[in-house]
Amino acid sequence: MKSGHPSGDRQIASVISDVDGTLVTSDKSLTPRSRDAVRRLDAAGIGFTIASARPPMGLTSLIAELGLRQPIGAFNGSTLLDPDGTIIAEHFIPEDTAGEAVRLFGGLGLAIWVFARGRWNLRDPHGPYTDLERRTLQAEPTCVEDLTPLLAVASKIVGVSADTDHLAECEERVAEALGNGADVHRSQAYYLDVTPHGRGKGTFVDEIAHRLGIPNARIATLGDAANDMAMFARSGFSVAMGNATEAVKRAASAVTTGNDEEGFAKAVDEFLLTR
Predicted confidence (pLDDT) per residue in 160-215, tens digit: 999 999 999 999 999 999 999 999 999 889 999 999 998 999 999 999 999 999 99
Q: Are 3 and 36 in contact (CB under 8 A)?
A: no
Residues 220 and 84 in one domain: yes
Report d(CA 32, CA 30) in Å as an integer: 7
Report d(CA 160, CA 132) in Å as an integer: 12
3-state secondary structure of 88: strand
Residues 57 and 141 in one domain: no
Q: Is the pLDDT of residue 99 over 70?
A: yes
Q: Is 3 part of any domain?
A: no
Q: What is the CATH number of the domain that holds 77?
A: 3.40.50.1000
pLDDT bucket at 7, cuts 50 / 70 / 90: very low
Report d(CA 176, CA 27) in Å as an integer: 33
Report d(CA 270, CA 109) in Å as an integer: 44
Residues 79 and 203 in one domain: yes
From 155, 172, 196, the end of a domain falls on: 196
| Angle, vertex CA 225, rays to CA 221 and CA 228, nearest 5 | 35
Report d(CA 181, CA 88) in Å as an integer: 23
**DSSP class per residue in 107-134:** HTT-EEEEEETTEEEES-TTSTTHHHHH
What per-residue confidence (pLDDT) applies to 188? 87
Q: Is 2 part of any domain?
A: no
Q: Is 111 part of any domain?
A: yes
Q: What is the mean pLDDT of the chain?
A: 94
Residues 109 and 144 in one domain: yes
Residues 240 and 259 in one domain: yes
Number of structural domains the chain divides into? 2
